[in-house]
Structure 1
């Protein structure tokens, strides 16, 4: 690519950055931890689903710093090769010669990017890399990058971040005030309906935005990245998984439903969807690793609004939606967790583990008004408690306190 063309693209991107600082920005729950990481020279890697706010967070972190920026998620850069990356650095230095921080958006789109980033690190740049693929997680990165790095996973807004965006402040005592409780419930209903993608709240046609986003994730972050030949089948599988969020699945069952010859194809497709942060598999807890790997998994998805906008059999099952929200919050906190299911004991939604010890058992349901439901949920929790030797038991409901 000609140097002049590169400079024009970088100048265009710099103009786009100015818009970021004119929009409403809230502090993300991970922000303090991310800001602390700027104090050292480790490579910072911010990863998460497309449009969850990675770029906005990165620019917000660097707004008082002298920094350069290249966004590789640009259709004009789709054919860029690793050997051209130095031309981008030179063009950037000509435009803005005085910077020591460098933000590289979606650089994993360029095959062989790792050597370039390693060289930038040796040159003394303080680097932030963003990406929408979990292959940039630390375990994978250790094979690519020399030296240590700091990884941050970002998700769409939590309910707490959503309340910040809505300028809604409350104290614990406010939860006992009827008017405040009603406001929180109304906002929670909105959150359940539309989810937490940050751009969504300034867009009129929200469901269309979410459908378009889903198509872009599947097409650009899965089909094109992994060169999927049978696009239609993969999309049908992704729709099925999102529609059955909170349910148990087996690879064999999916193989039969979609009439695919190989279980490995199913496993690969789900793995690709996971790497794009569209769906997640939760493994069953067992003291035997073999049972964890072979047992049925539970499926969750990245956002409640996405479920509603594209699911072909969306139900207003508030219990399952709440379960999905709790799942995502546990992911945000970085917990190691599973579900527990034994025929004799029933199911516990979430088993949180720290090292060799089970720290907490969590059950999620819409409400406990129905006697049969209440007895079932409590019975499963108590039986799980005995089997897993954990007395820290929690039941999360929509608005009840027992």
Structure 2
């Protein structure tokens, strides 16, 4: 069993008597983590809202009915809660009851949950995100040396739990995941009229990995307006398929001020979208894969450690660039990602002069562990 980093934090939050919400893509291990969170509890109620009968137990209920349903249990799990209409209002009522019962809610997307939970239930929830395995989680289960040996495999096949635990079946697992699960919640969401357009957009984003994304170019490519492209990318973020970094701009006149880069939460999903699992020596996108792996791992690291640093990239119109800027407590930490450790760069002089208190580090396969911990 590979231990998830956030397990201890969730268990520690039981004492706060708030509803715990665990969000993450399908197949990242939420159900497995739920089973581990039962430790020391005997009276447990598990509801799976992919099951219509379980939805009916929660939908449209009064405070009195919810109290009657929940109060006799020590622990209540509500899985796939985004299936419940007005789930935010239901969770607000549960939170207001101040029961001794600990309620843990999961959702495979934040589509309806983000819209319906946050406002009604503000102050009553503790929210966590669960991602595919992180490299430190795997190293804790085996060793850094073993993960170093498997690094090229991780860059190609990614870190979804079933891919890691059943490596011989990785291609089939990833193709099934991308074809059957990746967009399931998104396609059920109101306003999605052209599922094939989403798939074309994801493929276009996969091809532009590590590059600045132009909504105008994507709209021309897909034959839809710019606002539709932006809306669909936003929905893909809420389904934990991709995430965006904005460009960093403060002092320099020639800094790109409105640029965006789009990364995938998992390298294996990105490669499955393109049906390309070729070894690194046969690829021309190794640098982009390394950058995506490191940026996504940093996102996991910051989320799991409660680090609320903001992430950006930086580029000028003269094509000077920095792959990642992390702003924390007023300090700028900047990083460049190089698969070839010999190709060392210095921080661009214009950036160093404008932001003299910033730090700079080149992250390579030889030194990345300190970046991830």
How far does residue 189 in structure 1 lie from its aligned partner after superposition?
1.9
C-alpha change, 1:145 and 1:308, in structure 2 (3 Å) is same
How far does residue 228 in structure 1 lie from its aligned partner after superposition?
1.4
The one of 273, 278, 282 aligned to 2:241: 278
Aligned residues: 351
Q: Distance in 2 between matches of 1:293 and 1:149?
A: 37
Runs of at least 5 residues in structure 2 that lack an aligned partner in the other structure: 278-282, 304-308, 369-373
Q: Distance in 2 between matches of 1:155 and 1:193?
A: 17
C-alpha change, 1:61 and 1:79, in structure 2 (3 Å) is closer
Equivalent residues of 1:69, 1:104 under 8 A apart: yes
Equivalent residues of 2:89, 2:116 under 8 A apart: no
Corresponding residue SS for 1:37: helix
Partner of 1:256: 220
Partner of 2:120: 144
Corresponding residue SS for 2:60: helix
Corresponding residue SS for 1:128: strand
The one of 351, 363, 373 aligned to 2:336: 363
C-alpha change, 1:317 and 1:219, in structure 2 (3 Å) is closer
Equivalent residues of 1:320, 1:365 under 8 A apart: no
Partner of 2:371: none
Partner of 2:230: 267
C-alpha change, 1:255 and 1:330, in structure 2 (3 Å) is same
Corresponding residue SS for 1:329: helix
Higher helix share: 1
Do residues 287 (structure 1) and 254 (structure 2) align?
A: no
Name the TM-score, length of structure 1 as normaliser: 0.77
Corresponding residue SS for 2:261: strand
The one of 249, 265, 278 aligned to 1:302: 265
Do residues 329 (structure 1) and 297 (structure 2) align?
A: yes
The one of 12, 16, 22 aligned to 1:40: 16
The one of 26, 46, 50 aligned to 1:69: 46
Q: Distance in 2 between matches of 1:76 and 1:211?
A: 31
Runs of at least 5 residues in structure 1 that lack an aligned partner in the other structure: 1-24, 171-179
How far does residue 340 in structure 1 lie from its aligned partner after superposition?
0.7
Do residues 189 (structure 1) and 152 (structure 2) align?
A: yes
Matches within 5 A, 1:22-171: 25-65=1-41, 66-74=43-51, 82-83=59-60, 98-123=72-97, 124=99, 125-135=101-111, 141-145=117-121, 147-165=123-141, 168-169=142-143
Corresponding residue SS for 2:235: helix
C-alpha change, 1:233 and 1:145, in structure 2 (3 Å) is same
Equivalent residues of 1:348, 1:384 under 8 A apart: no
- Larger Cα-atom Rg: 1
How far does residue 252 in structure 1 lie from its aligned partner after superposition?
0.6
C-alpha change, 1:198 and 1:313, in structure 2 (3 Å) is closer
C-alpha change, 1:79 and 1:222, in structure 2 (3 Å) is farther
